[in-house]
Structure 1
Amino acid sequence: MNETTTIRRTAQASPEDFAHVRDWIFDLDNTLYPRRTNLFAQIDARMTSFVGELLQLDPQEARRVQKAFYRDHGTTLAGLMSVHNVDPDKFLNYVHDIDYSVLLPDPALGEEIKALPGRKFIFTNGDRGHAERTARALGIIDHFEDIFDIVAAGLVPKPAAETYNKFMGLHRIDHSRAAMFEDLSRNLAVPKSLGLKTVLIVPHNFETTVGDAWEHEGREGVHIDYITDDLTRFLQNIR
Structure 2
Amino acid sequence: MNSLTPTIRSLDHVTDWVFDLDNTLYPRSCNLFAQIDIKITHYVMALTQLEFDAARALQKGYYRDFGTTLNGLMHQHKVDPDHFLDTVHAIDYAPVDAHPDLVAAIEALPGRKFILTNGDTGHARAVLARLGAAHLFEHVHDIRAMDYQPKPLKQAYDGFFALHGIDPTKAVMFDDLEKNLMVPHDVGMATVQVVAGPDFIHEQVEAWELGRAAGPHVHHITDDLATFLRERP
TM-score, length-scaled by structure 1: 0.93
Alignment map for 1:182-193 (pairs within 5 Å): 182-193=175-186
Quick one: percent identity of the two aligned structures?
A: 48
Instruction: Render the CA deviation track for 1:109-136: whole Å, top value 9, x for unaligned.
Output: 0000000000000000000000010111
The question of whether the paired residues in 2 share the 8 Å contact of 1:112 and 1:235 is answered with: yes
Q: CA RMSD in A?
A: 1.6
The question of whether the paired residues in 2 share the 8 Å contact of 1:208 and 1:216 is answered with: no
Report the alpha carbon displacement of residue 218 of structure 1 after superposing the two structures with TM: 5.5
Letter in 1 for 2:93: Y
Instruction: Render the CA deviation track for 1:171-227: whole Å, top value 9, x for unaligned.
Output: 000111100000111110000011000000111128684532112336202100001
Instruction: Render the CA deviation track for 1:8-34: whole Å, top value 9, x for unaligned.
Output: 2249x87xx011111000000000000
The match for 1:34 among 21, 27, 31 is: 27
Partner of 1:159: 152
The question of whether the paired residues in 2 share the 8 Å contact of 1:185 and 1:215 is answered with: no
Alignment map for 1:2-81 (pairs within 5 Å): 5-10=1-6, 17-81=10-74
Letter in 2 for 1:237: E
Partner of 1:181: 174
1:235 aligns with 2:229: yes
Aligned pair count reads 232
Report SS of the residue matched to 1:181: strand
Partner of 1:223: 217
Report SS of the residue matched to 1:91: helix
Partner of 2:198: 205
TM-score, length-scaled by structure 2: 0.95
Distance 1:220-1:76 versus aligned 2 partners, 3 A rule:
same
Q: Distance in 2 between matches of 1:156 and 1:96?
A: 19
- The answer for unaligned runs of 5 or more in structure 1 is none
Partner of 1:103: 96
Q: Distance in 1 between matches of 2:116 and 2:172?
A: 12
Report SS of the residue matched to 1:238: coil
Alignment map for 1:118-197 (pairs within 5 Å): 118-197=111-190
Q: Distance in 2 between matches of 1:127 and 1:159?
A: 16
The question of whether the paired residues in 1 share the 8 Å contact of 2:29 and 2:200 is answered with: no
Report SS of the residue matched to 2:22: coil
Q: Distance in 2 between matches of 1:206 and 1:172?
A: 40
